[in-house]
Amino acid sequence: MWNDPYLETCCRSALHRLMLVGAHGRPPALKDGPCLNRLAGMGLAAARPDGRYEATDAGRAAHGVVVMRRARTSRAAPAGPSAAALAR
C-alpha cells in the first residue's frame, strides 16, 4: 500500500530547503510560500510565532523518504567499466 505523501516538484524542493536552513526557518514571503502553506497543511511544516516555517518531525521523516530516496535513485551510474570487471 502506498503511504508516502505525494509532493509536487516545487513542494519537494521547498521541503528540502526547510531541511537545509534548519532552526533558522524559512520566511513565508518567498516564492515557495504557497508550497510552505501546503506543507503546513499536510503536517510536514509548521509556522512559528515569528512567521517563519520549520520542518516538523513528520516533515523530517518525509524528507528522508520522499526527497532523499528520489535523489539516491536518480543518480546515474558512473561511466566506464565496473569495479567487478576491473578486478578480473
Instruction: Say if 28 falls within a structural domain.
Output: yes
Task: Determine, yes or no, domain membership for 30.
Answer: yes
Assigned domain for 63 exists: yes
Asked if residue 78 is part of any domain, the answer here is: no
CATH of the domain at 46: 1.10.10
Count structural domains, the chain.
1
Is the pLDDT at 41 greater than 60? The verdict is yes
What per-residue confidence (pLDDT) applies to 16? 93
pLDDT tier at 4, thresholds 50, 70, 90: low
Residue 88 counted as domain residue: no
Exposure b/e, 43-79, CB count within 10 A at least 16 = b: ebbbeeeeebbbbbeebeebbeebbeeeeeeeeeeee
Q: Which domain holds residue 26?
A: 9-72
- The answer to whether the pTM exceeds 0.85 is no
- Please indicate, yes or no, if residue 18 is contained in any of the structural domains: yes
In this prediction, residues 47-53 reach a mean pLDDT of: 95
Residue 51 belongs to some domain of the structure: yes
Whether residue 68 lies inside any domain: the answer is: yes
